[in-house]
Structure 1
């Protein structure tokens, strides 16, 4: 069995899960205590703030960042290390995007998706029968 790998550490990218900033990515800049850390993000409208660990989900992405880095340093390192590209290429981000798109579908769109799924399923079944 493999060990736990997502530790709370300076530079760890986290997805904010609660509050006004739900769905935003942030980085741990400093650790306050065993329940809270200082988070910062170059995302617009995300101020540097102390957030409880219960309100975030740690990702597997880690930045090379000095402890207590200021907002400008965080923004430069974020861009240099291409954190947004790493996040967008992850399966987790793709799944969240898919959920967001599907939640906004109309009734007719859901019907069209169902028909396309049935069509694809039948094509796979025919291909397997020939093989």
Structure 2
């Protein structure tokens, strides 16, 4: 399969190393084979030269001219909604998930482990009950599964509502 992400002006990159690690910025100019000029006016990355070894190319590109001003980049960034597109990628969601797990306390980690154990026990019992469909345990397990699915749907709706409320607060 041929390459699809190329180093070009307007390419959005994820900064992997240095003081701005974890932020995204756009390539404004290519200095030489090893370095590029970056700027991230909407993400707090000042204009600077960075080595390509410190960057990861994303699939996002914004239309800017070579060496454009910070204001022009900001307008193009906001017009293309690059920040929203980045947050919608699975890459950004994985990073967010990793940071959330890293920030858990001991008690929260313990609660997560116990919840996983309980979930796996329910799955295991449901599996064996369904495998032996002729038993009355299968009917009970099926009823429990339906109840848990409803509970999970309600929980997911609550999580989405909470995220929307947090985004509304930030905006």
TM-score, scaled relative to structure 2: 0.71
8 Å Cα contact 2:29-2:37 kept in structure 1: yes
Give 1:127 shift.
4.1
Query: Once the two structures are superposed, what CA deviation does each residue of 1:27-80 show, in whole Å capped at 9, x if it has no partner?
Result: 001111100011001135421111110111111111122221110011111111
Q: Which residue of 2 aligns with 1:114?
A: 113
1:80-91 maps to which residues of 2 (within 5 A)? 80-91=79-90
1:1-131 maps to which residues of 2 (within 5 A)? 2-43=1-42, 45-129=44-128, 130=130
Give 1:121 shift.
2.2
The farther-off stretch of 58-67 and 84-93 is 58-67
SS in structure 2 at match of 1:19: coil
TM-score, scaled relative to structure 1: 0.91
Which structure has the highest helix share of the two?
A: 2
Tell me how large the CA RMSD over aligned residues is.
1.5
Q: Distance in 1 between matches of 2:88 and 2:63?
A: 19
Q: Distance in 2 between matches of 1:12 and 1:123?
A: 47
How many pairs are equivalent?
A: 130
Q: Distance in 2 between matches of 1:104 and 1:30?
A: 37
Following TM superposition, the consecutive aligned residue runs of length 4 or more in structure 1 with deviations greater than 6 angstroms are none
Select the structure of larger CA radius of gyration: 2
SS in structure 1 at match of 2:76: helix
Q: Distance in 1 between matches of 2:64 and 2:118?
A: 49
Q: Distance in 2 between matches of 1:127 and 1:78?
A: 50
Determine which structure has greater relative contact order: mean sequence separation of CA pairs < 8 Å that are 6+ residues apart, divided by chain length: 1
Give 1:117 shift.
1.5
